Structures are given as structure tokens and as C-alpha cells.
Chains A and B, each alone.
Chain A
Amino acid sequence: MRIPFWANPRLGLLVVIVVLVAVFTALRPAFLDVGLTIVPMQSDLTVFVVVGLAQLAVLSLGHMNLAVGRMAAVSAFASGWAYDKLDVPLPVGLLIGLAVGALVGAAAGWTIAATGVNSFVVTLALDFALIGLVSLLYSTFSDGVAFHVAPAGLDILRGDTFADYCMGDLCGPPIPLVVPIALVAALAVGVFFRNSRLGREILMTGSNLQAARLSGIPTRRRVIQAHMLSGLLAALAGFLLAVNNGAFSADIGGSFLLPSFLGPVLGGTLLAGGAVSVLGTVFGAALTEVIQTGLNLLQFEVEKFKIYIGIVLLVALSLDRLRHVLAERRSGGTAAPRPAADPVPAEHSGGAA
């Protein structure tokens, strides 16, 4: 049975975002300041969307990647090193970083698949190992803890929006140049899980490992591939943060862990695996960013700031759950039950939205 369109969790998130934007704008009109609010919000959002996708890639299996931040850090080191020492062009450094991220992700996946140890434990251990490795690499190969190198195009990618490019009087929209990179990543991940055989098989592996194995799916390989994708996306998030910050430094990825879960989980990706929502991840990340920016503008004190972030997130999730319960009652209470913590209808399990 299908639930009404208004009970769609993505729509719910979108409504909450719109309401919050309206409330914050009413309280602080500066929320709509293009140069100082809207453009920086979009730049930050690109990083959080991609880091959310990196977590989503392994949540599809019911796994976790606690090393998502350090994978970004080690990949950003590789890119920074390539720019600094090999003087490579911007896209080549990006590719080197992506390759390193994918390799580290694949190594994590291989360890999980080969040993059967829980992904939580493996990636936690990997995170600790990479913290040390990143510090060591920077102290050995850089002057301190960062590469202050700016390959051609980096500053433009960081600072420009499409509004800076005009044909006569017609200029583009105030969208930062980094946004299409995150959009392409989101589209690619969406197509991968929705349309490709490999993506569907990863979701099936996450939904029911035994059934997937008995159906002839090489589940070990799928585990490695999902973690490889996670590493690759973590590397992309690290690159985007380095671009936004203007330097490839050792502290990249240090604050990725919480946002990596917030986006997908708010957006309806199941922690248990088997169902992902790319659009939901984008909306989940956007909701977090809107709350953060809105509360910044309201200038709460540091303690109150954290309390209000928690309250707003709780209210947003509770309203979403309430909306779903109402939808179930409207339809006669026959909608299939679903995990209490996840706002994704059960009929979406084993699929991508």
C-alpha cells in the first residue's frame, strides 16, 4: 500500500526547511543576504552533502564508516602533496586524492569482508591509525601541518559564483562554482543505487546478507565496493573543504563524523541497511545548515546555541514522525510498520529514493 504524497519524508523535510527559512528570515532579514549568507551556505552545504553521501554509501550495507573524516584528511594530504611537490593541475590533484580515498575505503571494506569484524570496530581502529598517519605525513612532507599551495583555478573555484560570469548584462545565478561538483556526485550516487546492477546488489546485500549470498551475489566484493565508494566520496568531501578553506591541512575532516550521519539519517536512509535516500541526504544536510546559519544570525550564546540545535532537530524529526503516523491512520492504519528511528516507509526498503 502506498502512503499519501504528503507523508513522503523528503517532502516533510522540504516543508520543515521552508518553514525554518521563513521563520529565520522574519526574525533576521539578513538570512536572505546573498553575499554573506546564501552563497556561504551553499559552499558549506556542498561539503556536508558529499560527506553525507560518503556515509550513505556504507549505510546501504547497514555498515558505518567512522573513519570518514580521516579518509578525507589522508586524501587531501595526497592532493596537497601532488600540488606542492609535483605541481600538477587542479583536476589531476583531485583525481590523485580520489584514488587514495577509494584505496583506503577499499582496504577498510576488505578488512571487514575478510575478517567478519564489525564495520564499527574496523573503521574506528582505522580512524585512530589515520590520525597518527596524517600528522606524521604532514610533519614529514610539509613545513608544518598544511600545504599552502594554490594550483591554478583553486581560488576561482573557491571564491567565484556563476554571478561573476556575464555575457553582456546577463550574469549567472549566485551559485558557487563548487555546487555543481556536489550535484554531480549526488546524481551519480542516486543513479548508482537506483539504476545500476551493482548498486542494487549492494542494497540487497545490506537488506539481507544471507539471501543476497544465496541469490548468487558476491557479497564480499559488494562490501569492498561500497566501502571503496565511501572512501572516494570522503576524498571528494575533503577536497571540497580544502577548496572552501583555501589550504590542504591536517585538520581537514576533523568535524565530518556527526554531519556524515545527520544528513542521511534525517533524510531517511536506514541505519539497518538496504535502503538509501540521496535526495533525503541533500535535504537533511540542508536542514542542518539552515538551522546552523539561522541560529548564528540569532547570536545565541554558546551553551544555548547547542541546546537549540538539539531542540530544533528533535522537533523537526518529531513532526516528521507525527506526519507519518497521521498518514497511517488516514489510510486505515494498515501501512507496514517500520523501524522507530527511521522515517523511511517500509516499502522503500531494498531501494533507493
Chain B
Amino acid sequence: MRTPPLTVAVLAIALCVVGCSRNTVHSDQSKLAPGQVKVALVPGGPHPYFQPWKNAMQQAKTDFKLGDVTFNETSAWNQTTQNSVLKSLAAQGFNAFGVFGVSPDTINSTFGDLRKQGFHLASLGSCPAGDTDNADFCLATDVRQAAYKAAKSAIEAMGGAGNLVHLTGNKTDSNTTRRIQGVQQAIDETGGKVKLIQTVTDIDTDLQTAQKAVADLIAAKGSQINGIVTTAYNPAVASAAAVKSAGLPVKVVAIDDDPTILGDIKDGSVAASVVQNPVGQAYIGSYALSKLAGGCTMKTSGQVIDSGSFVATLDNVDTYDTQRQQQTSQLRKDFDDKYLICS
């Protein structure tokens, strides 16, 4: 009599349940010379914020004599695609990764998988959500603190009282939650003098989406708004342009230092911008990854390190970069003195 394949499969599984043992995989983390270290920097997708990573990475390759570096932005803001990109790069011989995870809520699992296989990981620009980080370290802007600084600057520009609007990114991103908390903290500290009249999320997809949202906001509530704090790039550019063209006395605080935003600070249409340190993230991130691949270990695995955020205003718009470069140098020193253990 012929045995149905299903019966065979069920019997095989039953047999395995009774008699199988589970293999434990051990990762191989041998010490690598700098020339053997291949660093891949993988942003969540194409975004102006990551463009400075390209030059910083090349600089790191030259300065630290790394074997190879690459920049891959094909993840297209999709975590599944990013996982696939990371594993493809690993299959091609890259052995250290600086990653801006698409989803802070799920990137930790990917970090865990890759570390189990012996790769070195840095979460750059964004830390995983929750209390633990499965990467070796996280070098990123403290987004809650940056949003707090931005809101404080907006409140100061508004004269300490009035109505504020917060424009930000994807609501399903836990970083957005942290930004909302940072803005709320600054507002709470005013003791009711400043009121948050609206938080607009999900408008950092592209500039067109942000422009439409800002136009609708100004049409509906333009006369009530005293200040706009933006914690995402596209809303920042859109709100600066809209306020300027409408001629409204609204104080705008932007984010990052795109040439457009710096120009807006100089012409007074933007009161301030909270700039981050993407160069430091890529440069120092690559440096630390090469040290880890060379046999160093982190004193605290998953250590969260603030890469710094700085308020650029009309007073310091030409000099804030010096402060940022000092922060980058300090970060390297901190890695050597405080965060890494090298025998």
C-alpha cells in the first residue's frame, strides 16, 4: 500500500519532536586588521540627512585605512527590504555595519541576528525602541532632547507665550513619539503660557506632502499660530517657505542645516534650526566599528551615545560647525577613553 506523503511528513516531525536535539550556533569574531574591515553604512532609505555620510565614510576609509566602505540607500524605508539589503551586503563580505533602522521597533531583531553571525553593528542616527540595543552601540541624536531644544528655541522666539504647532514625521515611528514628548516637556515648563494647538504627523514623506499640509494649516489657523516647531526635514523646508511667502509673523524653528534652511536663518524667515551631527555619526561610527572588528569590545554592550545637537541662529549660523567638529573629536576621544576596552 502507498503511504501518503502527508503521513510521512507527520511521522518525520513526530520522530524529530521525540529524538531531535537543537544545535547551538557559535559566532566567529576573530580579530581583523583595519585593511580587512569592510564597513557598510545603510540608511533607512534616500533622505538628504544621510548625504553627508558618503564623504564622511570615505574620509574614515582613508584616515583609518579600512579595507572597503560602501553606502547603500536602497532599503526604501521598508524594514523587510533593509533586512534583505544588510544580509546581501554581509554575503558579499562586508563585516561591519552602521545602520539607521527603518523601524526602531523591529530593527533590534535584525541586529541580534547579525551579531549572532559574528558581524559588528552600530545603530547610527536612530536607536532601537525600548530599553535594550542589540547593536554594539548606538550613536545618534537624542531625539527627545533635540525636540526639547527646538521647542525651547521656538518658545523663546515667540516671547514665552502664544500658540505653537508641531510638525513631524511618521507616527508609527517610535522616534516621533519621543519628539512629541520632547516638545510637550518644553511646553509644560511654560506653566500654561504656551499652548500646543496642533501636532501634525506623517508629513515627512516628501516635500510635496509637507507643502500641502503646511498650506492647509496656514489657511485654517494661520492667524492663531505664533510659532511652528518642526522636527523633520521636509516640514521644516515647507513651513519656512510658506511663512515667508504668506508674510505671517510666525516664528519657525527648523531642523538640520540644509543650505535652504541656512539661507532662511540668514534672511530671518527661520528663527533657529536644531542641527544634528550626521558626519560625526558616519565618521566616528566607522572608526568604532573598525576598533571592534580589531578585537576591542564595548564596556557596555548596546551603549547609547548622543552624537550631539546644536541650535543654529542668526548669531552663530557661520560658526556652529566649529562646535560640531569639536563634538566629533570629543566623541572619538570618548570612544577611546570611556566606551571601548582594547587589550
Contacts and interface: CB of A to CB of B under 8 A. Distances in A.
B48 interface: no
Contacts of B171: 135, 145, 250
A107 B111 CA distance: 39
A62 to B, nearest CB: 29
A182 to B, nearest CB: 15
B23 A163 contact: yes
Interface stretch (A203-211, A298-306, A332-340): A298-306
Contacts of B36: none
B46 A165 contact: no
Contacts of A41: 84
Interface string B1-41: 00000000000000110011111010000000000000000
Interface in B181-226: none
Contacts, number: 128
B323 to A, nearest CB: 32
B88 interface: yes
B23 A166 contact: yes
Interface stretch (A30-38, A86-94, A110-118): A30-38
B76 A296 contact: no
B79 interface: yes
B106 A247 contact: yes
B88 A165 contact: no
Contacts of A167: 15-16, 19-21
Interface residues of A, number: 47
A151 interface: no
A276 interface: no
B106 A296 contact: no
Interface stretch (A122-130, A238-246, A342-350): A238-246
Interface in B82-111: 83-85, 87-93, 103, 105-106, 108-109
A144 to B, nearest CB: 5
A36 B74 contact: no
A33 B90 CA distance: 10
B109 A302 contact: no
Nearest to A251: B172
A305 B74 contact: yes
B80 interface: yes
B22 A165 contact: yes
B81 interface: yes
Contacts of A250: 171-172
A171 B83 contact: no
B303 interface: no
A144 B106 contact: no
Contact of B92 (A30, A44, A148, A160): A30
Contacts of B76: 302
A296 B174 contact: no
B297 interface: no
A293 interface: yes
Interface string A140-166: 000011101000000000111001111
Contact of A249 (B22, B73, B172, B177): B172
Interface string A287-309: 00000110011011110010000
B80 A241 contact: yes
B129 interface: yes
A296 B22 contact: no
A25 B20 CA distance: 33
A259 to B, nearest CB: 9
B140 to A, nearest CB: 17
Contacts of A297: 88, 91-92
Interface of B: 15-16, 19-23, 25, 45-46, 70, 72-74, 76, 78-81, 83-85, 87-93, 103, 105-106, 108-109, 112-113, 116-117, 129-130, 170-174, 177
21 contacts: A36-B117, A37-B87, A37-B88, A44-B84, A144-B177, A145-B173, A145-B177, A164-B25, A165-B21, A167-B21, A171-B23, A245-B106, A247-B106, A251-B79, A251-B103, A254-B78, A296-B84, A296-B85, A299-B70, A299-B88, A299-B92
